[in-house]
Structure 1
Amino acid sequence: MNHLKESELKNLTHTLHKEKQELEHHFNLQKDDESGSLNQSLSDATGELSTYDNHPADVGTETFERGRDLALEEKMTNDLSQVNQALELIDQGRYGTCRICGMDIPFERLEALPYTMYCVDHTPRNQNSEDRPIEEEVMTPPPSGAGEKRQHNHGKFDDANAWESVEEYGTSNSAAMATKRDVKDYQEGM
């Protein structure tokens, strides 16, 4: 903690206390508002006796909203825990040093993320972002140079020519909708 000036430490402490106050205020509001509690069942939260009469998209929307709210709640709980840990480290005089290597965390990093306990090099990576879908292990990779030789392959079917290829079979405003069979244009079909 000796690498931080007293004014810097005071500024960071103030920021952490302000963040803690905002997070606790959010959780206190959640306790007071029992009507939208995430602990309620979906039917209780929506006020519906049954979801059978609703369109599936309505239930999907409610499920999405609830999932988003749960994810935000989990993040805010984690943030409050980290803020409390940072404030404890300030009280113990160990704030501002990396948990892994013990090196000083630069003030600029602490100013951007005051509850961090790691230097940039030792920040734990989110495991979910590094995990790739299992399907990628068996998927065939795209051919090398895919998309680079469009002019060379001119005339072959690709996404750019898809409409023209399908259009010859008829559209809602083409000769295919004529009353006579095997018509090439509107004038023949009339």
Structure 2
Amino acid sequence: MLTSEQLTHFKNQLVERQSELFTLMESEGEYSRRNQELSNYDNHPADMGTEMYDLEREQALSQHAEVELKEINEAMSAIEEGTYGICRRCGTDIPLERLEAIPTADQCLEHANNAGFVAYRPVEEDILTMDIHEHTNETQTGYDREDAWQDVGKYGSSDTPSDLGGNQDHDDYDEMYINSDENIGIVDDTEGIGTATFDGHPEE
């Protein structure tokens, strides 16, 4: 159980950090207002790279500051309620060393490590993951935009043989799409020998 002197000490730390965050957010807001332009029509996109980076960094810092302010407010409420310095999961006292390092801590070290990392990610990542290896599985190759274009290209396009280039011979215009000669269902030509007809074409 923390003494009144210790509670006052940590409360002062929280108030000081809260003031720093308010000052930081105000200064960042002034920067964004100072660097706005009415129109980017006459600017090359590369010229706006630094300004865009600074604005995105400012936005990220503001989001981090908002999260930290929320944690500070929760810690201040815990001081008023008499639950500050007590792990909200197991009810044991949080070590002073941990509170000195993280005054907003509301869990002991053991439960904080087991809590895992909660990322604030876009909602679309519930379906689309950041890991490229998870887009394919062990049983099926992913259907990508190249496959989509091939399916559409089979019905014809405005391309002519000269548009494709190279030394490609096409029997008819139904084959006038990218990689129309690639093997479907096999990786190497020798894999299709067992299922080929007498003239070398794969069985339908």
Q: TM range, normalised to the smaller chain?
A: 0.5 to 0.7
How far residue 100 of structure 1 moved from its aligned partner, in angstroms, is 1.7
- Provide the identity percentage: 34
Q: Report whether the alignment pairs 1:56 with 2:45.
A: yes
In the other structure, the counterpart of 2:91 is 102
Aligned to 2:32, the other structure's residue is in SS state coil
CA contact (8 A) 1:13 1:87 kept: yes
1:87 aligned partner: 76
Partner of 1:36: 32
Amino acid at match of 1:36: S
Structure-2 residue corresponding to 1:116: 105
Q: List gaps (5 residues or longer) in structure 2.
A: 138-204
Partner residue, 2:24? 26
Structure 2 CA distance for aligned equivalents of residues 135 and 14 of structure 1: 47
**Paired residue for 1:66?**
55
> Which residue is equivalent to 2:36?
46
Structure-2-length-normalised TM-score: 0.53
Deviations 1:168-189 (A, max 9, x none): xxxxxxxxxxxxxxxxxxxxxx
Deviation at 1:14, TM superposition (A): 1.2
Deviation at residue 25 of structure 1 after TM alignment? 3.1
Unaligned runs of 5+ in 1: 38-43, 140-190
**Whole-angstrom distance in 2 between the partners of 1:66 and 1:30:** 9
* Structure 1 residue 126 corresponds to structure 2 residue 117: yes
Deviation at 1:12, TM superposition (A): 1.1
Write the letter of the residue equivalent to 2:51.
E
Which structure has more relative contact order (CA 8 Å, sep 6+)? It is 1
- Range moving further from structure 2, 88-97 or 13-22: 13-22
Tell me the number of residue pairs that the alignment of Structure 1 and Structure 2 aligns: 128
Per the alignment, residue 198 of structure 2 pairs with none
Distance in 1 between residues matched to 2:68 and 2:22, nearest whole Å:
11
Selected match of 2:9 from 4, 8, 11: 11
In structure 2, distance between residues paired with 1:95 and 1:63: 41
